[in-house]
Structure formats: C-alpha cells, structure tokens
Structure 1
Amino acid sequence: MKPDSKHFYQLSYEERLEKLKQQTGLSLDQVDLLKSHFDETGAVLIENYLTNYQLPEGIVPNLRVNGKNYWLPLVTEEPSVIAAASHGAKLLSADNGIEAQAGQRLVEGQVIVQTTAFTQLDQLIRQQQISILAVADQSHPSLKKYGGGAKKVVCRQLDESLSSVEIQVAVGEAMGANIVNTMAEAVANWLEQHKYQVVMSILSNAGTYQMVTVTGQVAVTKLAKKGLSGSQVANKIATASHIAQIDSKRAVTHNKGIMNGIDALVMALGNDWRAVESAIHLAAVVDNQYRGLSQWQVQGDKLVGTMTIPLPLGMVGGATKVLPLARINRQIANVTTVNEAMQVGAALGLAQNLAALVALVTEGIQRGHMSLQVKSLALANGATPAEIPVILTKIGSQQPDATEIKMIITAIRNSKGE
C-alpha cells in the first residue's frame, strides 16, 4: 500500500517524515534534526507523533514556603523568568518565608440539562442526592478506598431552558479529569433514565474548590534601589497593584508575570498548564471585571502581598509518571502531596510578581529583561554558545539590534581567521 493511500495517522514514522518532507519542502538536515529528538514515550503519548520539542529547564533555589526551602525546576524559553523568580524568592525569604494554605480540594463535573422546569429538576436533585452520589461512586469505586469519591451534587440554573447539575468529587492525589468525566457521564445516564434531556457531561476546569492562598512580606528597607528609598519603592508597588485592580489592560500583564513562574513549574511537573491557566484567569474576573490576581499594600514597615487562586494540579495520573523528566523534577521540587504542590506553585507566582513589580517601578522592565534577551538575539542570528560570553563583553551595556549582533559575530570570527 502506498503512503498516499493512507490517512496520515496510519503512516509509519518514516512514512510520516517523508510525507511531511514532500508537503513542506524540509531539507534532509531538517529531517535529521527531527529524527534526533525522537522519543519512544512521546511517540505513544500523542497522535501523529513527529518529534520531541525541547524547552530549557532551570532551577529557582531556596523559595521559602511555610518554613521549608524548595528548589524548583522551571521549564521556560523566556529569559529573565528564572532570574526574577529567584530575586522575588530572596526578597520574601525572611522568617517562614511565604505563608501558604490550601483548603479542601474538590473537582467539579457538570451535566448540562435542557429543561424549562428548573424547580422540578432542583427538587429531584435535592431529594435524590444520596442516590446520585452512589451512582457516581459506583462508576469509579476505587476512590472510596482512599477517602475520596463524590461528596455533593447541586443544581444551578443557566437560563430559562438550560440547567447545570454539578457534582463535586474528592479525587485524592490525581488531577481528576478522567475520574470526574466518568462520574459525570454516570450521573447523565441517571438523569436520562428520569426522562431529562442531557446536552453534555464533562468536568469543569473552573477550580472553584481548588483554592490556595499565599501571603508574603518584605521589609520596606530591602526595596531601596536606583536612588529610590525603600519606602518610595514600596508605595509605587502598592500603586501599581491598585492599577491592576482598576484597569484590565494592566491586569493582563500583571497576571502574565505571575503565570511566568506558575506555568513553568506546572510544565516541569508534567501537569496540564492549560487547565491551570483557564482556572486562574477565570478567578481574575471579579464583579465582571478582569483584575490583578495579587494585591500589595504597605503595612507599617512591611510591604505585604496576598493572592488567592485556584491551582488544579495532580501528583498521579496523566503525564506525571509517564515522562521521566517529570519524575525527576518532582524529586527535585520535593513536594509529596497535591496540597503542598498547590502551596508552592502559588508562592512561586507571588515571588515572580514581586520581582516584576520591583523592576517595573524602579529601573524599568526593559533593562534587566533585555540584558538577558541579548543572548537569545545572538543565538537567533547565528552565534554559537561558545561565542556568547565574548559578544556580551563587546556590547557592554548597549542594547544592540540584529545587524549589530551580526557585525560583532563576523568580527569575532575574522579575528580567529575564520
């Protein structure tokens, strides 16, 4: 059978590469590069596998949370993320460091029902709650052995013809998507047996019952920088925080800085960063306005920051044990439970946020950011890793463009007779 007569997913790995080469004009060197990153686990994990796309991983040392120091692996392609997180961690390291607390963790599933008789449906759910929970538990009985399982079911009206029957499930150390989807489908079948029309059933990524609160403080005197007193810097940070509460455009960038750290840790631990992003950005909407997730205030001689966010993580299932590096990263991070991972992840976000705000209200975000971006610019314009230190020495404090970088690279190579 010729490759062209098959669907793409039916092709062997070599056939897939050949097809892609024909369609896109990839060179032999490019195909060889794709092959060099082949991984058997990755080939099984996703559909139409091509290669493993690698991102750099670094370490944030000594983030202090609830009196314990953590060394956290971060996966990110963006320069300055790890430097900023490390700086924020140092600023917030006094005493017990960042205080963090995670509450009871439940994952929700939704069964969307089409009915104009909400009151009747709501009464049924209230009267039959025990039966419904039993139906859910029977679809995934192993959870009960570990103290988990379906805990509550409620009914919420969406509009005049649609309602949401919502089941709350304790999923233990798992992220819980597959568990809750199975339970939601079991409840959907039960509702259909009671003559209700079900539109769909699936988990919710809202993270409403997966909240974690973090609080960090730093002595105002530690914030003095670039001719500004610590008090001036602290007050400017408090103002910047307030702006993120009243202006959605500023809030988006404020929150992106927080997610720089959280996403990088979530990826390193083999978790679903898209689910985390979705839940956290929903939580940023308060009173129909998108707002900054953290708030900073000057309290006496301290700058105090607080943040409450959902953080839907899992320590078992999914890719957490499939990807070898995820297992290593979990050991590096030294987190043993989901609640601990939630606390550490949120604390990292707060530290990242503080460092960004300090830079923003003092020297400006570009100076520190661009000094690290120069390395990326040099690599993108043909520099080798060995040439980077020489390039940095030659440019000093300048902010060169691509043309200037290429001239420096040429000069370096000419001086070596290349």
Structure 2
Amino acid sequence: MNTPVEGFSKLTKAEKINWIASNFTQDPERTKQLLQQYWNTDGEVQKVHDEFIENTVSNYYLPFAIAPNFLINGKFYAIPMAIEESSVVAAASKAAKFWLTRGGFKTTVIGTEKVGQVHFIFKGEATKLRAFFNEIKPEFYTSTAAITKSMEKRGGGIKDIVLKDLTDKIEGYYQLHCTFETKDAMGANFINSCLEQFASTLKEKAAQHTSFTSEEKDIEVVMSILSNYVPNCLVRAEVSCPVEALNEDGISSEEFAQKMVRAVEIAKAEPYRAVTHNKGIMNGIDAVILATGNDFRAIEAGVHAYASKDGRYSSLTHATIKDGDFKFWIEIPLALGTVGGLTSLHPLVKLALEILQNPSAEELMQIVAVAGLAQNFAAVRSLVTTGIQKGHMKMHLLNLLNQMGATESEKQELVQYFKTHTVTNASVKEALEKMQSE
C-alpha cells in the first residue's frame, strides 16, 4: 500500500530506489535493474550527474547526434544536437547541405540585453515615488558593487534601472525594470542577486525617507526575479540566393520559391499553423540548447512570447522574393551562456562546446538561430513539395520496428524494402508479419 515517506531526500540512492520500486511499480526487481542499467559506469561521472538535481535515482538519456556541413558566415560547423524525435537531425543536415552551395547562412547579433524586475506595491503619490527613485538611483549601483565587480571586469554589468508605474493594471503596482549585460554567462544568478539587493536597498531607503508618510515608507516588495522575455537579446540568421538556384525535382524554381513564401505567409496569418510552424523551429533550437547545457524551458518561454509581440501569435521566420532573389530569415531572442552552470560540469556539454570550437555566447546565439532556421526551411520545404510524412516516416521506421519486436535481420531487410515503399504503421506491421509467416 502506498504511504507517504519522511525524509526521502536523506535516503541513500539505493534506499530511494527500493522505496519507489516497492511502493509504485508492479515488478520491483525489474525496476531496480532498469534504473541501474542507466547509471554511468564511471563513478565520478555518475556523482556529477547525481548532484545536478535532487533525489536522483538514475539518468534519463537522450541521443547525442551531429548535424554536419553548416556554413555560417564563411566558417564550417558540425552542430551537436540532443533530441529524441526522429528526422530532426536529418532535416537540419539536409538543409545545411542545400545551402552549402548557395552561400551558406549569414548571421548578426542585434543585441545582448537581459532583463530583471523588482515588483513592489507603493501606497502613495506617484510623483513622490518618482522623485524618491531619482534621488536614490545611484544607491542601487553602489549597493551592488561587490556583486557586479567581476562581471564588470568582463565587460558586463548593470545597464539601466527604470521605474515603471503599472497602477493602471494593479492598484499600487510599480516595478524596477532593470537591464543587464552578462557577456558569456547566461547570468541568471548574477541578475537575481542584483535584483534582491535592489529590493533591499529600495525598502531600506524608503523607510528612512523623510518626505514619505508612514504608509509610504512601508513599501511591499512582492518579488525580485529575472525575466525570460528578452526581446533585446536578439539574433538574426538568414539564407538567400537567386530564385533560379532553388532547383527542386518535379517543381520549377519559381513555383518552389512562391510556395515557400506563401507557406510562411500562412504561418504569419494563422495562429493554429504558426504554433506548429514555430514548434519545428524549436526542434532545431532546443536540440542545440540541450546539447550545450543551456535552459531550453527559458528559451521556449521567451521565444513564444516574442512570437506574440505584435499582439497576435505569428511565424518566427520570414520569406520574400525580391529582384529575383529568394530570402529566408529569422530574428529570435536567445539568452545563452557558454560559461558557468552545466557548461563546466557535464562532460558531453564540454564536448559539444568543443565541437562548436568553443564559441562565445554571441557566437552560440548565431549557431542556435541557424539550427532553428535550417530546421524550419527543411520542414516547410517538405510540406510544399513531397509532404511531411514521406521523409519523417522513413526516419521513424526503426522506431516502429523496435516497437513491433523485429529482429536485427528483419530490420535490415525491411529498411531496404521501405526505401521504395510507403511507410505507415499498418504497412510496416503487415510487411513484418508477412516476413515472419514466411
């Protein structure tokens, strides 16, 4: 019978596994074996993994793959990707190969500004608060000098602190809207430390301010936290070539270019399509984010907010035909880091960054944006020509065969068979059953 457990975090790994296996699984011994199978045989590496998060009982593996042949700003890259979805790596690689002979990818970092906010309630006159803020603003910088010292040596630090009046939304609600430069660090801990000190300084100075009434002195700080919406931490990636260079089998270059532009226009106009369109972009982006030890949840949240910045959820990519040239591009917010966090702890993250030639945060922004653009180009290209399922299902074939319990020899024979036949769940099952009956 399932019962609550006291002090679970204090149990050893073996005790945690015994408890979860005995109380929540039908075959406790099989559960223990499975969890142990995914331990790293190198004890030191496993210890590092165990300490990433709390209450670890095993590791959850994702495939680590390489998408080769990316030409970015005249430099060749092989891009590491960690993802479980079939066809993503193949699609990105195919797009990289397509653009390799058409000038490659061009990228530009537009900005690297990150954001944090102190949210507070002030019950008093807005003009008095504004005068108070202007008076004490230098104190915010002074009080965080110890925190910002190292960051400033690397060229980063606090960019600005602005008082925002949001009382039209919530009674008495104001915020300190703060911007930062964190260079090669993602900077979450740095930003949050600064914000909490800002909040402390705000309350302390308000309590001492002689022009405030007793109620005005009692500022209520609700929370101090960075924002994952970073519309000014922005990167652009693009590809372009003459329309006639877009040669596709079975379709003219002009028709292909027009279909690509029209598909993007639909994603701009129709939110139902835009969500799936952008999900495909994030297939490429998240895979590189994971491989390089960055926070894909933060990136996802910020990117989808950016897709709604004009009041309607829309496509993150754009396409045009102008003066005989086809252009396909993306502008996307990416707050990334190449130092700190998992970048210095996870062995495969270190390797991924080495494979990428140890990029700076700005360089990684550009690589990640390219991965997203490549993935989207490949997906839209398939949609407007052969359809998405033809390529995807061929990549998915081994998954289907594994689910159906095919032997290695059966898999090899069926992979050859389906090179010239349509892959569906039913057709694979039928072919396997026919082979087994024979």
Q: Contact 1:20 / 1:26 at 8 angstroms: preserved in 2?
A: no
What does residue range 168-183 of structure 1 map to in structure 2 within 5 Å? 168-183=179-194
In structure 1, C-alpha distance between the alignment counterparts of 2:111 and 2:173, rounded to whole Å? 29
Give how far 1:322 is off: 0.8
In structure 1, C-alpha distance between the alignment counterparts of 2:54 and 2:244, rounded to whole Å? 54
In structure 1, the residue corresponding to 2:382 is in which secondary structure? Answer: helix
Give how far 1:294 is off: 0.7
Question: Any idea what the Cα deviations from partners look like across 1:363-402, whole Å, max 9, x if unmatched?
Answer: 1111111111111111122235564222222344444555
Q: What stretches of structure 2 of length at least 5 have no aligned partner?
A: 40-45, 207-216
In structure 2, C-alpha distance between the alignment counterparts of 1:72 and 1:198, rounded to whole Å? 44
Question: Any idea what the Cα deviations from partners look like across 1:121-160, whole Å, max 9, x if unmatched?
Answer: 3443334332212223333432222222112101223324
Task: Specify whether residues 128 and 75 from structure 1 end up closer, same or farther in structure 2 by C-alpha distance, changes over 3 A only.
Answer: same
**Residue in 1 aligned with 2:322?**
299
Q: Contact 1:262 / 1:349 at 8 angstroms: preserved in 2?
A: yes
Task: Specify whether residues 95 and 387 from structure 1 end up closer, same or farther in structure 2 by C-alpha distance, changes over 3 A only.
Answer: same
In structure 2, C-alpha distance between the alignment counterparts of 1:86 and 1:119, rounded to whole Å? 58
In structure 2, C-alpha distance between the alignment counterparts of 1:241 and 1:406, rounded to whole Å? 36
What does residue range 157-176 of structure 1 map to in structure 2 within 5 Å? 157-158=165-166, 159=169, 160-176=171-187
What does residue range 10-409 of structure 1 map to in structure 2 within 5 Å? 10-22=10-22, 23-38=24-39, 39-94=46-101, 96-116=103-123, 117-158=125-166, 159=169, 160-193=171-204, 194=206, 195=217, 196-384=219-407, 387-399=410-422, 402=425, 405-406=428-429, 408-409=431-432
The residue type equivalent to 1:378 in the other structure is: L
TM-score, L = length of structure 2: 0.88
Question: Any idea what the Cα deviations from partners look like across 1:154-211, whole Å, max 9, x if unmatched?
Answer: 1223324212212212212110001101000000001111132110001111123311
Q: Contact 2:319 / 2:328 at 8 angstroms: preserved in 1?
A: yes
In structure 2, the residue corresponding to 1:357 is in which secondary structure? Answer: helix
In structure 1, C-alpha distance between the alignment counterparts of 2:358 and 2:325, rounded to whole Å? 29
The residue type equivalent to 1:14 in the other structure is: A
In structure 2, C-alpha distance between the alignment counterparts of 1:218 and 1:388, rounded to whole Å? 41
Between the aligned residues of both structures, percent identity stands at 34
Aligned length: 413
In structure 2, C-alpha distance between the alignment counterparts of 1:339 and 1:382, rounded to whole Å? 46
The residue type equivalent to 2:191 in the other structure is: V
Q: Contact 1:247 / 1:291 at 8 angstroms: preserved in 2?
A: yes
TM-score, L = length of structure 1: 0.92
Give how far 1:411 is off: 5.8
Task: Specify whether residues 335 and 96 from structure 1 end up closer, same or farther in structure 2 by C-alpha distance, changes over 3 A only.
Answer: farther
Q: Contact 1:110 / 1:167 at 8 angstroms: preserved in 2?
A: yes
In structure 2, the residue corresponding to 1:274 is in which secondary structure? Answer: helix
Q: What stretches of structure 1 of length at least 5 have no aligned partner?
A: none
In structure 1, the residue corresponding to 2:163 is in which secondary structure? Answer: strand
In structure 2, the residue corresponding to 1:235 is in which secondary structure? Answer: helix
Q: Contact 1:137 / 1:150 at 8 angstroms: preserved in 2?
A: no
Q: Contact 2:336 / 2:361 at 8 angstroms: preserved in 1?
A: yes
Q: CA RMSD for the aligned pairs?
A: 2.2
Task: Specify whether residues 103 and 185 from structure 1 end up closer, same or farther in structure 2 by C-alpha distance, changes over 3 A only.
Answer: same
In structure 2, C-alpha distance between the alignment counterparts of 1:331 and 1:229, rounded to whole Å? 41
